[in-house]
Amino acid sequence: MQTFKDKINPQQLPKHVAIIMDGNGRWAKSRGEKRTFGHKHAIKAVREVVNACNEIHIPYLTLYTFSSENWNRPEDEVDTLMSLISETLILEAEEIFTKGLRMHIIGDIEKLPPLVQEQMLHLVDVTKNNTKGNLILALSYGSQHEILSAVKKISAKVKNGELTEDQITEKVFEDHLYTCEFPPVDLMIRTSGEVRISNFLLWQIAYAELQFLDTLWPDFGREDFFKCIYEYQNKERRFGKISEQLEENL
C-alpha cells in the first residue's frame, strides 16, 4: 500500500514547518483523566514529528510548546508542564545530538524556571555545529511581544544614530525578531480543531499555507505529518501572482 510518505515530492519540500501542538487537555479529559495526562502523552507525537522531519530532510521545524499566555493557566498545570519539558530535554538530548539536529529556542526565556533555561541553553550550545536540521522550540513565546521588542530595538538604534528611518526595511525588521536566522514559515499546522493562531509567529506566517486539523495533538503521528506535507505540495503558492505566471516561471 502506498503511504503518504511515498507520495511526497522530495524536490518540493517546505523549508520551514511550524506546528501549534494543541488538544492535550481535551485528549485527557475524553479519557476521564487530568489535563496533565494529555501533556505526558504529547511527547510521543513530538518525537514522531521530529523524526519524520528528519527523515525527509525538512530543515526547520518550529514547535509551539508553551505560549506567553499559557503562564495564566493554573499553577499546578504550569509546574507540570515545566517539569515535563525539563525531563524531556534530559531524555531526548542524546537522540537530538545523534540525529545531528541543531536546537534553538525562541521566546521570553528569562521567565522560564532557571533549570529549564540552563538545560535549553546547554542543548543550544552543544548542538550549535550540527547541520542535519533545526529544531526550534517556542517556549514562553508570544508573537506580539516579539514584534514589540523588535520595534523597541530598532527605535533605540534610530535614536542613537545606528539606523535611519529609511533604512528600516522588511529585512531589517526581520533581523530583529527571535527568528532572524530562520526562513519564513512555509507550512503552519494546528491540531485540535481550533481555527486560530493564538499569538504564534504572526509576522513569519505572512505567506504560509495554513492547515487546521481536528486530530488532538497526542493522536498526531508520523503518517499525519506526511499527509500534511503531501497536501501542502498540492497547493499552488502564488505569492500574489497568477497561475500562468508561475507556469511560465515569470
Residues lying near Mg ion in the complex (CB under 5 A)? 22
Site string for ligand IPE, 46-75 (x = CB under 6 A): ------------------xxxx-xx-----
Please list, in sequence order, all residues whose beta carbon lies within 8 angstroms of the beta carbon of residue 250, skipping any fewer than 6 positions away. 241
162, exposed or middle or buried, with CB in 10 Å at 0-12, 13-18, 19+? exposed
One-letter amino acid for residue 28 of the chain: A
CA 18 to each of CA 56, 100, 124, 169, 174: distance values in angstroms, whole numbers, following the listed order: 16, 19, 19, 24, 17
Count of residues of this chain found to bind ligand IPE when the rule CB under 6 A is applied: 19
Q: Is 76 a catalytic residue?
A: no
Q: Is 54 a catalytic residue?
A: no
Among 13, 14, 18, 24, binds ligand IPE (CB under 6 A): 24
What is the C-alpha to C-alpha distance for residues 43 and 130, in angstroms, rounded to an integer?
A: 23
What is the C-alpha to C-alpha distance for residues 80 and 89, in angstroms, rounded to an integer?
A: 14
Which entry of 22, 24, 134, 186 is annotated as an active-site residue? 22
Rg of the Cα atoms in the chain: 19
Residues in region 169-208 near ligand IPE by CB under 6 A: 192, 194, 196, 198
**Containing H/E element for 35?**
helix 35-56
What, of Mg ion, ligand IPE, none, does residue 14 touch, CB below 5 to 8 Å by kind? none
Nearer to ligand IPE, 195 or 250 (CB): 195
Taking the complex as a whole, the smallest distance from the CB of residue 71 to ligand IPE amounts, in Å, to 10
What, of ligand IPE, Mg ion, none, does residue 218 touch, CB below 5 to 8 Å by kind? none
Taking the complex as a whole, the smallest distance from the CB of residue 89 to ligand IPE amounts, in Å, to 15
Tell me which residues touch ligand IPE (CB under 6 A).
20-26, 35, 64-67, 69-70, 81, 192, 194, 196, 198
Catalytic residue list: 22, 70
